[in-house]
Amino acid sequence: MPIGYVTIGALDTAAAGKFYDALFAPLGAERKFADGGWLGYGEVGAPGEGFAASHTAICCPPHDGKPARAGNGIMVAYAAKSPEAVKAAHAAGLANGGTDEGAPGFRPPEAKSGFYGAYLRDPTGNKLCIFCAV
Protein backbone atom coordinates (compact mmCIF):
# COMPACT_ATOMS: atom_id res chain seq x y z
CA MET A 1 0.00 0.00 0.00
CA PRO A 2 1.54 3.37 -0.98
CA ILE A 3 1.90 6.09 1.64
CA GLY A 4 -0.09 9.22 0.85
CA TYR A 5 2.06 11.62 2.87
CA VAL A 6 3.97 11.92 6.13
CA THR A 7 3.27 14.57 8.78
CA ILE A 8 6.36 15.69 10.69
CA GLY A 9 5.97 17.66 13.92
CA ALA A 10 7.92 20.92 14.14
CA LEU A 11 8.81 23.03 17.16
CA ASP A 12 9.83 25.95 14.94
CA THR A 13 8.34 25.94 11.44
CA ALA A 14 10.77 28.62 10.22
CA ALA A 15 13.74 26.40 11.17
CA ALA A 16 11.94 23.32 9.81
CA GLY A 17 11.28 25.13 6.52
CA LYS A 18 14.92 26.09 6.09
CA PHE A 19 15.97 22.49 6.82
CA TYR A 20 13.39 20.75 4.60
CA ASP A 21 13.74 23.25 1.71
CA ALA A 22 17.45 22.36 1.58
CA LEU A 23 17.04 18.63 2.29
CA PHE A 24 14.35 17.99 -0.31
CA ALA A 25 15.86 20.00 -3.21
CA PRO A 26 18.45 17.30 -4.15
CA LEU A 27 15.63 14.73 -4.01
CA GLY A 28 13.51 16.55 -6.60
CA ALA A 29 10.96 17.98 -4.17
CA GLU A 30 10.00 21.55 -3.32
CA ARG A 31 7.85 23.51 -0.92
CA LYS A 32 4.30 23.58 -2.24
CA PHE A 33 2.78 25.80 0.44
CA ALA A 34 3.36 27.61 3.72
CA ASP A 35 0.22 28.64 5.57
CA GLY A 36 -0.54 29.16 9.26
CA GLY A 37 2.56 27.31 10.48
CA TRP A 38 2.03 24.45 8.03
CA LEU A 39 4.57 23.61 5.32
CA GLY A 40 3.81 21.19 2.48
CA TYR A 41 6.35 19.51 0.20
CA GLY A 42 5.95 17.53 -3.00
CA GLU A 43 7.67 16.59 -6.22
CA VAL A 44 8.88 19.43 -8.43
CA GLY A 45 6.28 19.87 -11.15
CA ALA A 46 3.57 17.86 -9.33
CA PRO A 47 0.05 19.17 -9.97
CA GLY A 48 -1.89 21.45 -7.66
CA GLU A 49 -1.17 24.45 -5.49
CA GLY A 50 -1.33 25.10 -1.76
CA PHE A 51 -3.24 22.50 0.22
CA ALA A 52 -4.46 20.92 -3.05
CA ALA A 53 -0.92 20.03 -4.20
CA SER A 54 0.44 16.50 -4.17
CA HIS A 55 2.44 16.18 -0.96
CA THR A 56 5.09 13.82 0.27
CA ALA A 57 5.59 15.59 3.60
CA ILE A 58 3.80 18.15 5.73
CA CYS A 59 5.57 19.92 8.63
CA CYS A 60 3.46 21.56 11.30
CA PRO A 61 3.02 22.03 15.03
CA PRO A 62 1.09 19.13 16.62
CA HIS A 63 -2.70 19.41 16.50
CA ASP A 64 -3.01 18.97 20.29
CA GLY A 65 -1.07 22.21 20.91
CA LYS A 66 1.67 20.44 22.87
CA PRO A 67 5.31 20.81 21.82
CA ALA A 68 6.50 18.59 18.98
CA ARG A 69 9.00 15.93 20.00
CA ALA A 70 10.80 13.25 18.09
CA GLY A 71 9.24 9.80 18.30
CA ASN A 72 11.55 7.18 19.77
CA GLY A 73 11.95 4.45 17.16
CA ILE A 74 10.15 6.34 14.39
CA MET A 75 12.12 7.24 11.27
CA VAL A 76 11.05 8.49 7.86
CA ALA A 77 13.12 7.34 4.86
CA TYR A 78 13.21 9.33 1.61
CA ALA A 79 14.38 7.74 -1.65
CA ALA A 80 17.06 9.43 -3.72
CA LYS A 81 18.05 8.70 -7.31
CA SER A 82 21.79 8.33 -6.69
CA PRO A 83 24.53 8.28 -4.05
CA GLU A 84 25.35 11.86 -5.12
CA ALA A 85 21.79 12.95 -4.26
CA VAL A 86 22.06 11.15 -0.87
CA LYS A 87 25.29 13.04 -0.14
CA ALA A 88 23.83 16.38 -1.30
CA ALA A 89 20.66 16.01 0.78
CA HIS A 90 22.61 14.94 3.88
CA ALA A 91 25.04 17.87 3.52
CA ALA A 92 22.18 20.33 2.90
CA GLY A 93 20.34 19.08 5.98
CA LEU A 94 23.43 19.43 8.17
CA ALA A 95 24.10 22.93 6.82
CA ASN A 96 20.54 23.96 7.69
CA GLY A 97 20.09 22.93 11.31
CA GLY A 98 20.19 19.14 11.13
CA THR A 99 22.43 16.82 13.14
CA ASP A 100 24.31 13.79 11.86
CA GLU A 101 23.11 10.29 12.72
CA GLY A 102 25.21 8.42 10.15
CA ALA A 103 27.34 9.66 7.26
CA PRO A 104 26.53 8.66 3.69
CA GLY A 105 27.73 5.19 2.82
CA PHE A 106 26.84 1.57 2.20
CA ARG A 107 24.93 -0.36 4.82
CA PRO A 108 26.42 -2.58 6.04
CA PRO A 109 29.62 -0.54 5.67
CA GLU A 110 31.61 -3.41 4.14
CA ALA A 111 29.09 -3.82 1.31
CA LYS A 112 29.94 -2.32 -2.05
CA SER A 113 26.44 -2.47 -3.49
CA GLY A 114 22.85 -2.64 -2.35
CA PHE A 115 21.70 -0.04 0.17
CA TYR A 116 23.43 3.36 0.22
CA GLY A 117 22.10 5.73 2.86
CA ALA A 118 22.68 8.58 5.28
CA TYR A 119 20.93 9.43 8.54
CA LEU A 120 20.24 12.75 10.22
CA ARG A 121 17.83 14.53 12.54
CA ASP A 122 15.86 17.65 11.71
CA PRO A 123 15.84 20.72 14.02
CA THR A 124 13.05 19.17 16.15
CA GLY A 125 14.94 15.86 16.50
CA ASN A 126 12.94 13.73 14.04
CA LYS A 127 15.15 11.01 12.54
CA LEU A 128 15.37 10.74 8.76
CA CYS A 129 17.12 8.49 6.27
CA ILE A 130 18.01 9.42 2.71
CA PHE A 131 18.81 6.32 0.65
CA CYS A 132 19.13 4.77 -2.77
CA ALA A 133 19.67 1.30 -4.18
CA VAL A 134 22.95 0.80 -6.05
121 in any annotated domain:
yes
Owning domain of residue 35:
6-62+74-133
Buried b (16+ CB within 10 A) or exposed e, 46-62: eeeeeeebebbbbbbbe
Question: In this prediction, what percent of the chain has a pLDDT beyond 90?
Answer: 69
33 in any annotated domain:
yes
1 in any annotated domain:
no
The model carries a pTM of: 0.89
68 in any annotated domain:
no
Q: Supply the DSSP symbol for 76.
A: E
88 in any annotated domain:
yes
The string of pLDDT tens digits covering residues 51-105 is 666 778 999 999 899 999 888 888 999 999 999 999 999 999 999 999 999 999 9
Q: What confidence tier does 50 reach under pLDDT thresholds 50, 70, 90?
A: low
69 in any annotated domain:
no
User: Which pLDDT score, from 0 to 100, does residue 127 have?
Assistant: 96
67 in any annotated domain:
no
Q: CATH number for the domain including 55?
A: 3.10.180.10
Question: Is the separation of the CB atoms in 26 and 96 below 8 Å?
Answer: no
98 in any annotated domain:
yes
Instruction: Give me the number of domains the chain comprises.
Output: 1
> Picking from 46-50, 103-107, 113-117, 126-130, which range would have the lowest pLDDT averaged per residue?
46-50
